Amino acid sequence: MAKHDQYHIDYEKLYPGIGNRPEILKVLEQSDRKMKYMEYDLKTGQPHRSRETGNRIVLLAREDSLERLQEEGQEQFPDITTLEELTDVREDIRLLRHALLELEEKELNLIISLYYKGLSEREYSQKTGIPQRTINDRKHRILAKLKKFWKITNKIRSNLFLNGLYSEGYFQMPLTAA
C-alpha cells in the first residue's frame, strides 16, 4: 500500500476546494498521466541494453515534435509544395515538351537516348557508330538550342505577365508538333 501511496497523488489535498467529486478527480488523473507520458520523451532516442550481447544500444526516435524540428532548423513539411510551384512545374514540363518537338529527329533521338533511356555517350556511340566526341558536341549544341528556346519563352511569358495578358489558357504551348 505504501508503494501505491508513493505514486498516487492525493488531489483532494492539492486542490482543497474540489471535494470528493469523481468526475473532476478523473480529469485530473488523466491530465497527470498525459503529462508523465509527455515527460517520457518518445521523440529522442532511448538508451537500452541488449539482453543477448549486453551491449548498450540506442533505440531510434519514433516521432518528432514541432519544437524539436524548429530547434534543429528543419522545416515542418519540406516535401509539400505550393499550388504555384506545382503550376510552374507543369508549365515548365509543357514548355520542355514543346521545345523537344522543335528539334530535328536525330537531335530528339540523341536527347531521348541520353537523358530518358539513360545511355552514356559511349554506349550511344557504339549503338549508332558515331564517334563519342561528335555525340558530345551535338549534345552540347542541342542543349544550347533548348536553353535559347527556354530563355525566349520565359521572356515572352514574363512580358505577357507584366502586361496583364498572361492567364491560364491565354498563352499555352501546344503539346504536339504543328
Residue 78: what pLDDT? 59
Identify whether 47 is part of a domain.
Answer: no
Identify whether 60 is part of a domain.
Answer: no
Same domain, 158 and 88: yes
Domain range spanning residue 20? Answer: 1-39
Identify whether 21 is part of a domain.
Answer: yes
Cell numbers found for residue 134 = 561528335
Distance between CA atoms of residues 156 and 64, nearest Å? 45
Same domain, 34 and 88: no
Identify whether 29 is part of a domain.
Answer: yes
Same domain, 30 and 88: no
Number of compact structural domains in the chain: 2
Whether residue 42 contacts residue 61, with contact meaning beta carbons closer than 8 Å, is answered with yes
Whether residue 83 contacts residue 160, with contact meaning beta carbons closer than 8 Å, is answered with no
Query: What does each of the 178 residues of the chain score in pLDDT, given as a tens digit?
Result: 455 555 677 777 777 777 777 788 788 888 887 777 666 555 566 666 777 777 777 665 555 566 666 776 666 555 666 777 778 788 888 888 888 888 999 999 999 999 888 899 999 999 999 999 999 999 999 999 988 988 888 777 776 666 655 554 444 444 444 3
Residue 120: what pLDDT? 92
Identify whether 45 is part of a domain.
Answer: no
Identify whether 133 is part of a domain.
Answer: yes
Identify whether 2 is part of a domain.
Answer: yes
Burial of 107 (0-12, 13-18, 19+ CB in 10 A): middle
Identify whether 72 is part of a domain.
Answer: no
Same domain, 87 and 149: yes
Distance between CA atoms of residues 20 and 38, nearest Å? 27
What is the CATH number for 111?
A: 1.10.10.10
Same domain, 30 and 89: no
Distance between CA atoms of residues 127 and 28, nearest Å? 76
Same domain, 29 and 92: no
Cell numbers found for residue 96 = 520542355
Cell numbers found for residue 7 = 505514486
Residue with cell 533548348: 146
pTM score of the predicted model: 0.46
